[in-house]
Amino acid sequence: MLKKIFLGLIVVSSAFARAEAQNSYKSFFSQGKAAYHQGDFTGAVANYSKALKLRPNSVAAYNNRGIAKKSMGNYAGAIKDFSTALNINPRHAGSYYNRANTEHDMGKYPESIADYTKALGFKPNDAKIYNNRGVAYRDSGNYTKAINDFTHGIGLSPNDAKIYNNRGVAKAKNGNYQGAIEDFNQAVKIKPDYGHAYYNRACAYQKTGRTKEAKNDFLTAQNKYFEAANSGFRSDNLRFAKSGPFRNNSFNAQTKTFKAENASFDKNPFTAQTKTFEARDSGFWSNNLRFAKGGPFRNSSFNAQAKTFKAENASFDKNPFTAQANSFKAGDASF
């Protein structure tokens, strides 16, 4: 009898210990998510690491810790975590997708394209993966495949303005300015406050000699930028506008020199404000804020840009708004 009672106590104690460990895992995991949402990436990594000590085969914890490391700029650590998650579950599309996003940020376009393709193998109807692979193709100079991916993404998500904007940039880089204008038209129709697309359409108008429309769109882009800053788009945007590229100048200086030969898609300031060609990290903005405070406008101005804004150096890849908020790629997939 005593032996049975003793064995029963062991079973109960073991079950209690497992339940306690499970509760602790959930607690650390939840604290990791909360820290990440608050921009405390170091705290997020620490809590996910504690969760992994209790559950070392947690794909979710490795995946989310990878996202936090990526947000800290620790790309090697992020890729290692995503790869570990995939070793545990080779069919986890989210980890392929997140690893692809990290590889893209590192400029490893072939690797990122390969991982986006693997993710699509498991989630063939995910518009954001097509969008991001399209961005990777575009950044690698393969505009035809980029346009194909954006077109596929639009078929899956016809009301996504950023995909139209992205396809427009790819068409423009491929020399199809009229097709680009049509895509920018659709982008602003879907999202009337889309300053990034107004700026890009202004550049396309310039390239086709439609200077009046170009200037009007440029002025609209200017207004959209400040509307976003003043409407709580981010309180930090307003601080950025006051201390960043507009500190001692304005769009006025650029519009005065806004001539047809000066169109440049790559210098679109809205790219950094909202980073609208990539989807942003799921619900997290702290990284964007850090970039805005230390980004491309730190020691520069639109005045300097306007003076050198010529057709021969037009480049979509130097769009200063891209770095501020990173919204042209779809965000990382977290649990």
- The percent of the chain in helix, strand and coil, each rounded to the nearest 5, is 70, 0, 25
Domain limits, the chain: 21-124, 161-335
pLDDT on residue 331: 72
Identify the bridge partners of residue 329 per DSSP, sorted by sequence position. 278
pLDDT in tens, the chain (335 residues): 655 655 555 544 454 445 455 679 999 999 999 999 999 999 999 999 999 999 999 999 999 999 999 999 999 999 999 999 999 999 999 999 999 999 999 999 999 999 999 999 999 999 999 999 999 999 999 999 999 999 999 999 999 999 999 999 999 999 999 999 999 999 999 999 999 999 999 999 999 999 999 999 999 988 888 877 666 544 443 333 344 433 333 444 454 444 545 566 776 666 655 444 454 333 222 333 332 333 332 333 333 333 333 333 334 444 434 543 444 667 777 65
Q: How far, in Å, CA of 10 to CA of 110, rounded?
A: 55
CA 326, CA 275: separation in Å to the nearest integer?
Answer: 3
The answer to whether 199 touches 167, Cβ cutoff 8 Å, is no
The listed CATH number (3.30.565.10, 3.90.550.10, 3.10.129.10, 1.25.40.10) that belongs to domain 161-335:
1.25.40.10
User: Alpha-carbon distance 162 to 183, whole Å?
Assistant: 10
Find how far residue 198's CA is from the centre of its chain.
19
Global confidence as pTM: 0.73
Give the pLDDT of residue 334.
Answer: 64
- CB–CB of 120/133 below 8 Å? yes
Extract the tokens encoding 62: 């490795």
Domains 21-124 and 161-335 share a fold: yes
Looking at domain 21-124, its CATH superfamily turns out to be Tetratricopeptide repeat domain (1.25.40.10)
Alpha helices in 89-125 (DSSP H): 93-105, 109-122
CA-wise closest residue to 226 among 244, 204, 201 = 244
What residues contact residue 260 under an 8 Å CB cut-off, 6+ apart?
206, 207, 209, 211, 214, 311
